[in-house]
Amino acid sequence: MQEYDYNKTHIIDIPLELAMKTENLQVFYGDNHAMHDASLEFPRHRITALIGASGSGKSTYLRCLNRMNDRIATVKGKIMYRGMDINTKNINVYEVRKHISMVFQRPNPFAKSIRENITFALKRNGIKDKNELNKRVEESLKAAALWDEVKDDLDKSALALSGGQAQRLCIARCVAMKPDILLLDEPASALDPISAAKIEDTLMELRENYSIIIVTHNMQQASRIADYTAFFHMGHVLEYDVTEKIFTTPQIKATEDYISGNFG
């Protein structure tokens, strides 16, 4: 693979209201410096895509945003959310994750019924009222475009769902918590094209009410759904701009090579 100049970057500021941003975010796995100085801003109620080859650090970066890397890596730098740096010791990570929720690459429904998958965390957060719970179940499943498929089977085991359905249930599970920001780590990569397309439609709907940050290695997907796109390479963010610009007139050589399929 060709060496690129990591000092040459093109990163824009977002001219909109921000959902969150990072300043000089660095990640270390032991001695391994996995992410260098990532400073990005994420707009509110838009979709931002993080693209790059595997091992470029995009998933690592995403997992920092709601502190899912706490146990496995050292994360330095600032993660600003609502005017606070949430990457500090005295921040309550459990509260952070209620506002910044995450959907993973492989569907991971709980070994419980479909209904309980959604209500489990809600109940633990003090929502006891049955009507309210049922309302949340229906709302969130509708938001994830799953309601029509499962509304008669809410008490069946979620492990019996197909991969695509299970992933949408995982999205519904997050949405039911009414978070502010949704982080998605290659949510469609383990799915067939039809299920993947459904997930994309779902995300476009959710964009109205949620700020979405999605990691994907599928460039078509990024160009279809994202408003802004960041390009990651070897632990560096090299380019960040409006999606259209990234795919039509990239400013950085590495980006250009990547989107034209020269590596990755």
Closest by Cα among 45, 44, 27 to 36: 27
Does position 128 interact with other proteins (CB under 8 A)? The reply is no
Phi, psi torsion values for 233, nearest 5 degrees = -150, 125
Cα separations (Å) of 245 from 30, 56, 194, 223? 36, 21, 28, 10
At closest approach, how far in Å is the CB of 236 from other proteins? 26
The piece of 6-14, 22-30, 128-136, 172-180 that touches other proteins (CB under 8 A) is 172-180
Pick one of 80, 121, 196, 242: the residue that binds other proteins (CB under 8 A): 121
Q: What share of the chain is helix, strand, coil (3-state, %, to 5)?
A: 35, 25, 35
| Pairing mode of beta strands 32-43, 18-29 | antiparallel
Q: Which is nearer to other proteins, 164 or 250 (CB)?
A: 164
Is the separation of the CB atoms in 158 and 166 below 8 Å? yes
Q: Which is nearer to other proteins, 173 or 198 (CB)?
A: 173
Pick one of 23, 110, 138, 245: the residue that binds other proteins (CB under 8 A): 110
Residues from 39 through 98 that contact other proteins (CB under 8 A): 66, 68, 81-84, 86, 90-92, 94-98
Closest by Cα among 121, 118, 155, 165 to 138: 118
Residue found under tokens 């998958």? 117
At closest approach, how far in Å is the CB of 17 from other proteins? 13
What does the binding site for other proteins look like in residue numbers (CB under 8 A)? Answer: 66, 68, 81-84, 86, 90-92, 94-99, 101-104, 106, 108-112, 120-121, 124-125, 153, 155-157, 159-160, 170, 173-174, 177
